[in-house]
Structure 1
């Protein structure tokens, strides 16, 4: 009998369809950063609107350049000690072939790296919401560069890089519950503990100046999040990306409704800010879990996150830390909830065969999730606080108190978001007309 012939598995070939899909997903994730800027920009007072927009927008510039120079290499290069990656051929991206495929997939390396770049951009931008009204723009820009280098790039390697300790341990993070949301939320807490509260915190009204802007931002985030989540399966055609797309919608809807119900019971009203915040809480929570749970599980994840995040946003008043726009309450808490619930609701029928406690898998995966969650939380919290302390003691992190009271937009950017002095309708036009009539009457008297 002739010896059996073993055929080697056919190597992946470039897929134009998957490549196009992932480029679209990358563009959707990029749109999330301007969407975040609108979301945060509407939540602050008028005098801080432009600064809030710019604190998100500047990340598009800084992180993009760092990613090209060394960030991609640090996050996804050859593992070193399970803590960091490095590939000198990727420095500057000049030695990557145009049709070179990302290992094991049907998309070019360039497509994978630009998709991951958009994650790297929005993560430090998320931190900015906690620091509204009071941080020097130059200090913030330098903080982004330092934080991305010593926190985001290494943590991304831990979670998603081949050889990273969390990746090898089996911590499940489909699209960024630990690497993005817990990372950013813990960093926000670390920085605000260093720089302190806004002038007038818990004394002056600090209500959102434009709820329509908040709703626009939330809508753009919800839209872009489909690229963020479904795209993270990198175009594989086994249905997991489609499951993630469905679960993203389902969990977000459940969280929004749960937040509003809690809000009505607790405060007596269904607010637009609550609807927007609840939707974001659901998006955050399903990000790590959506590939591992069923749609019914996604409802549970979203509903639990909606209630717990709504409860968490009030903790800043109880404990006295000034998380301006609830980054800790929504992103840190939502990320923790979504990541840990994988250990309970993983069905074994999605991205892997891992089963959670409610599907007969015991607590093994739950403890793995705990390891990933609390390691990232502790690392980001401590390192971010140290970076903020160093910057505060050298160049100063905060604007002068007088500039904060008068308005950080004018002090830092020499601009204002809205020009009420020009010719226009409403009160401005009425005032101008009254002044003109008064002037005419005065001339008559003089004559």
Structure 2
């Protein structure tokens, strides 16, 4: 008996300084993705809305962080209750956690796991904001963010990653967030824009990006931070799986960018910087659920397929008449669906698990599981998000007035403008309208 106890004690995980440090770095990388997303989105809108777009991402860092500490971590990763939600009183306020207490079965502290997952929770509602550019009250957006993470994100995170969550128990593979993050955010974006409607001038007025350099900077920061997002999701680096995910992240992103640019050249005759940035993000989205299950050659296929399909999907808003301002549906929803379903084809059975896809002799079983995960999250997020947006719209109002939208949401909602057009070192006061500023305002409107 004594020897058995000794053996069990020897087999129990112990805190790893290397894995702990690695995960703290990954957490910081994922945090950087939210400012990166702010730049990515902020450069894609017209100048009169750029600060609002930045703020719609940045506010998530404040709101979601506090809610995660108060009850979000408990709902997402607490003791399972009915396969739908978690709850552990020790996780409320993170008050009952020992500083060296290890996360279940791993060699990192609970605090490290909690802060890593916090960064996922922060960026997911920020992703939604790109679909709503130019037309949503900032106060309404802040309240929507708080309600949405509570009603949608925290439960879905438990379904997908929480011990006992029904999709986790079903065997759905989502390495780092194809369903919980990207399909969730993309479906939510679609639900909200169907409620609040189109921008003034949609399909009539030019709504070109005001700063493509900012877009490229944001895409670069996202690409950089995504290595932490993906490789860190294995919660350690002892068996090489995280290294495979790191490689696949780079490979799939490159393939998707090239595929998007090839589609653009064939369809429109040009290679655009916006296409390069969007293609890279599409590849990052698609490899997020699948990168731990496929080989580097499979990652090329996942990226290329996602890049081409997402490039085609962004045009659907003009065909069907929904105003997805910055293509959240076309990139994140479609990319998340593609990456999640392709696990059922390209999983090798030799990386994160022994589950093999159709092309590796595994049949259709895993594809069926992936489809259940994809469409259950899509349906729940779409419906729940639309209901939340409808309730807010009927109570406090979601949209700014038409006059505010036309003149510029930055000045009204934030009392600031992104750029000072009064001249370098000029003596004009903040409220002085110079000819250059007046002309710029006229063009933007």
TM class by shorter chain equals over 0.9
**For structure 1, which runs of at least 5 residues remain unmatched after alignment?**
426-431, 435-447
SS of 2:304's partner is: helix
1:304-331 Cα distance to aligned partner (Å, 9 max, x none): 0000000000000000000000000000
1:343-390 Cα distance to aligned partner (Å, 9 max, x none): 000000110000000000000000000000000000000000000000
Q: Aligned partners of 1:262, 1:401: CA distance in 2, in Å?
A: 36
| Counterpart for residue 259 of structure 1 | 260
| Counterpart for residue 100 of structure 1 | 101
Q: How does 1:199-218 map to 2 (within 5 A)?
A: 199-218=200-219
1:267-311 Cα distance to aligned partner (Å, 9 max, x none): 000000000000000000000000000000000000000000000
Q: Aligned partners of 2:370, 2:424: CA distance in 1, in Å?
A: 58
Q: How does 1:169-184 map to 2 (within 5 A)?
A: 169-184=170-185
1:149 correspondence with 2:159? no
TM superposition score normalised by structure 1:
0.94
Could you tell me whether the CA contact under 8 Å between 2:89 and 2:96 is conserved in 1? Answer: no
1:422 deviates by 3.5
Q: Aligned partners of 1:423, 1:98: CA distance in 2, in Å?
A: 52
| Counterpart for residue 88 of structure 2 | 87
Q: Aligned partners of 1:269, 1:260: CA distance in 2, in Å?
A: 8
| Counterpart for residue 349 of structure 1 | 350
1:13-64 Cα distance to aligned partner (Å, 9 max, x none): 1011110000000000000000000000000000000000000000000000
Could you tell me whether the CA contact under 8 Å between 2:341 and 2:367 is conserved in 1? Answer: yes
Root mean square deviation, CA, Å: 1.6
Q: Aligned partners of 1:214, 1:344: CA distance in 2, in Å?
A: 33
Q: Aligned partners of 2:416, 2:277: CA distance in 1, in Å?
A: 28
Runs of 4+ with deviation above 4 angstroms? none
Residues 5 and 207 of structure 1: is their aligned pair in 2 closer, same or farther, counting only changes over 3 Å?
closer
Larger radius of gyration: 1
| Counterpart for residue 276 of structure 1 | 277
| Counterpart for residue 301 of structure 1 | 302
1:216-237 Cα distance to aligned partner (Å, 9 max, x none): 0000000000000000000141
1:63-120 Cα distance to aligned partner (Å, 9 max, x none): 0000000000000000000000000111011110000000100000000000000000
SS of 2:92's partner is: helix
| Counterpart for residue 396 of structure 2 | 395
1:10 deviates by 1.4
| Counterpart for residue 168 of structure 1 | 169
Q: How does 1:364-383 map to 2 (within 5 A)?
A: 364-383=365-384
Instruction: Give the length in aligned residue pairs.
Output: 427
1:174 deviates by 0.1
1:423 deviates by 2.9
Could you tell me whether the CA contact under 8 Å between 2:134 and 2:405 is conserved in 1? Answer: yes
1:424 deviates by 5.3
1:176 deviates by 0.1
